Amino acid sequence: MPASPPDTHVDALLDWYAQVARDLPWRRTTDPYAILVSEVMLQQTQVARVIERYEAWLERWPTVEALAAAPLGDVLTAWGGLGYNRRARALWEAARAVARDGWPDDLTRLPGVGPYTAAAVGSFAFGRDELAIDTNARRVYGRWGFTPERGSAALNQAVMELGATVCRAHVAHCDACPIVACASRGMEVVRRPRAKRVRFEDTDRYARGRVLAAVAGREPWPDYLGAERIARALDGLAADGLIKREGDHTSLP
């Protein structure tokens, strides 16, 4: 695969993005804290669900110092409904690290920040010439047959937008793609057979979410889950530091 796309392809993509980019709140800022919040919230959560929660979060905790000073219990309660509550704890821990030591050059040193999130914050907040490859970008580059070695913030945003709205996993709208020389243009998207899916309500993640919501006082105690699932959820939440257990009493940290 070539190391970098032709300039004409990049120009066409950026022109397209300038015309069709969605107006998302985290695209209107270069504040590294706000961008980190958006990236953590967007992990495995749809954009439409995140927008309102993101804006409410920043209204409550507008700075990294404000989040760092918040009780973890309040943070977990505010995160309720976004799923994967360990993300909320990691975000809070990252805020505490930044409030104490400042933003590190190597952003992966922050709790919960992996290579993609570090590259995204580095690119969108600090203007670094880094390639941020999320699931959408990886798919787009794979279909194009080329990938850049580095990427500007504009290029990263444009590729992610293309993957989210045009070059989608199961339906590629090639006629709407600005890259007319794409190596996969017009090819049928092969759909892999999906494995039998377990109902979300039957998963440990669902049980943990209901138990944590009950501990936070947002929902009634989920007796319908059964004693075994509740016990397993409590053990997992306690091990992740998302709840405190003192004898028979359970509370948020």
Least Cα distance to 29 among 12, 48, 54 occurs for: 54
Q: Answer whether residue 183 is part of any domain.
A: no
Within-domain flag for 187: no
Report how far residue 159's alpha carbon sits from residue 90's, in angstroms, rounded to the nearest whole number: 27
Q: Are residues 241 and 143 in the same domain?
A: no
192 belongs to a structural domain? no
- Same-domain status, 35 and 99: yes
How many structural domains is the chain composed of? Answer: 2
Q: Are 160 and 234 members of one domain?
A: no
Residues 30 and 69 in one domain: yes
User: Domain for residue 188, yes or no?
Assistant: no
* Predicted pLDDT at 6: 62
- My answer on whether 66 and 164 are in the same domain is yes
- Judge if 232 and 109 occupy the same domain: no
Q: What pLDDT, on the 0 to 100 scale, is given for residue 106?
A: 97
Let me know if residue 207 belongs to a domain. yes
The DSSP line for 127-152 is --------HHHHHHHHHHT---SS--
What is the pLDDT at residue 189? 63
Active site amino acids: 39
Query: Is 220 within a domain?
Result: yes
Q: How far apart are the first and last CA of the chain?
A: 49
The closest of 23, 75, 15 to 51, measured between CA atoms, is 23
Domain range for 235 is 200-251
The domain spanning residue 101 has which CATH number? 1.10.340.30
Residues 84 and 116 in one domain: yes
Q: What is the pLDDT along the chain (253 residues), one digit of tens a residue?
A: 455 556 677 889 999 999 999 999 999 999 999 999 999 999 988 899 999 999 999 999 999 999 999 999 999 999 988 888 999 999 999 999 999 999 999 999 999 999 999 999 999 999 999 999 999 999 999 888 878 877 899 999 999 999 999 999 888 899 999 988 788 887 766 555 566 777 888 888 888 888 888 888 888 998 888 888 988 988 888 888 888 888 778 888 8
Same structural domain for residues 12 and 105?
yes
Please indicate, yes or no, whether residues 165 and 72 belong to a single structural domain of this protein. Answer: yes
Within-domain flag for 111: yes
Q: pTM (2 decimals)?
A: 0.85
Same domain, 128 and 88: yes
Give yes or no: residues 83 and 137 share one domain.
Answer: yes
pLDDT value of position 188: 64
Closest C-alpha among 175, 155, 120, 197 to residue 13 = 155
149 domain residue, yes or no: yes
Q: Which of 208, 178, 168, 229 is nearest to 76 (CA)?
A: 208
pLDDT in the model for residue 111? 96
